[in-house]
Amino acid sequence: MRLKLIKPILLVLVLLGGALVPPGCAVRQTASKPEKKLVIGLSMATLKEERWYIDRDDFISEAKRLGVRTICDVCYENSDTQYSQVRDMLAQGISVLVIIPNDAYKAADCVSLAKAAGVKVISYDRLVMNANVDLYVTFDSVKVGGLQAKAITQVKPRGNYVIVAGPTTDYNTVMLSRGIREVLNPYISRKEIKVVGDFSETDWMADHAAQDIRKLLQDSTKIDAVIAENDGLASGAITALAENHLIPAVPVVGMDADLSACQRIVEGQQLMTVYKPIKELAVRAADFAVDMAKGKSVKVPDRISDNKYDVPYSCIEPIAVTKDNMMSTVIKDGFHKTEEVYLNISKSSWPQP
């Protein structure tokens, strides 16, 4: 009689989640709640310059390697579009927002949206102003400007200088200009250098740089050197100077180590560029973003002011590149290939690795 009662009693114990289960009997486990998929939002201002493709691809690749998906949107230099895209990313449930602001000040609204949703924000390469982002990852833009000015004053320590800067909506322009002026000011004070043109070009437009240089030349202004804050602006300046047969007599410097700029350098049309190891920047930013998405604490030693708050700041050192160290910098790092940079140079004249 007792044997007949065993099975019903065991059945009750199993249904009640009892621990007394005879050997060989399986108990169905309650399914655990699926783990939330981590997604990072990458909001980009532009893909106009070739470097931004490298930033995007290296960032997404590193995040993927770490098992995290990236949603990437490009606003193509429209701040209203960037705001809408960020709002849509947040609606899709991103864990962290990484933003390259189109406008350093208007993008503060994007940061406010993210913070209201409890999403941390990394400002990438360009600082969002008055926004108190959780982290700013970039290159030392003050040093970039200093490298540009130092390189050009070494070959033209006297004469009429033109500075072709980026837009005031990009805070990098402020820091680049600070670095340039720190080097130039002693020369200016000694009246060895005179700045005869100081332009700020909307959206880093090369055509605008060319127009401003043409206007100076049409006004019979003598130009001895041009500091362009990126290689796109340098290309515009070189176009206008070349039209007046002033290349390579007038040295021009730039930034970003664009392929076309590196080609101009080895061909003698551009004096130098500043190489910013973009893969290092993209990988570092992606690593930080993934850590934040996983709830880990991210600590960096430096801080920088966004005009209202002191925000955490992770900085990478830039590198001056001329024809003399092209092989040991951008080519050695795999940023560009030898055959690409020296495309228009006879192979017999290529430097040895």
Contact 229, 255 (CB under 8 A): yes
Task: Walk me through the domains of the chain, giving residue ranges and CATH numbers.
Answer: 39-139+278-316 (3.40.50.2300), 141-271+320-349 (3.40.50.2300)
- What are the 10-residue block averages of pLDDT along the chain, 353 residues in total? 45 42 42 69 94 96 97 97 98 97 97 97 97 96 97 98 95 96 98 98 96 98 98 98 97 97 98 96 97 94 95 96 96 94 93 78
Beta strands in the chain (DSSP E): 39-44, 69-74, 96-99, 120-124, 135-139, 159-165, 193-200, 225-228, 252-253, 273-275, 302-305, 310-316, 319-321
Between CA 159 and CA 199 the distance in angstroms is: 18
Beta bridge partners of 271: none
**pLDDT value, residue 137:** 97
* Per-residue pLDDT at 352: 77
Cα separation, 134 vs 311, whole angstroms: 7
Closest alpha carbon to 124 in 342, 308, 283, 337: 283
164, 228 Cβ separation under 8 angstroms = yes
Using CA atoms, how far residue 158 sits from 123, 190, 219, 223, 315, in Å, is: 39, 10, 21, 11, 33
Closest CA to 120 of 278, 310, 311: 311
d(CA 335, CA 256) in angstroms, rounded, equals: 11
> Rg of the Cα trace of the chain?
28
Taking the C-alpha atoms of residue 156 and residue 225, their distance in angstroms, rounded to an integer, is: 7
**Contact assessment for residue 213 and residue 140, using Cβ atoms and an 8 Å cutoff:** no
Cβ contacts of 152 within 8 Å, gap of 6 or more = 161, 225, 227, 251, 253, 271, 272
Query: What pLDDT does residue 255 have?
Result: 97
Distance of CA 234 to the CA centre of its chain: 19
| Bridge-based pairing state of the strands 69-74 and 39-44 | parallel
Residues forming a β-bridge with 304:
311
DSSP 31: P
d(CA 202, CA 60) in angstroms, rounded, equals: 29
How many Å apart are CA 248 and CA 268, to the nearest integer?
7
Asked if residue 256 lies in contact with residue 51, where contact means CB atoms within 8 angstroms, the answer is: yes
pLDDT at residue number 35: 56
Q: Is the pTM of this model over 0.75?
A: yes
Strands 96-99 and 39-44: parallel
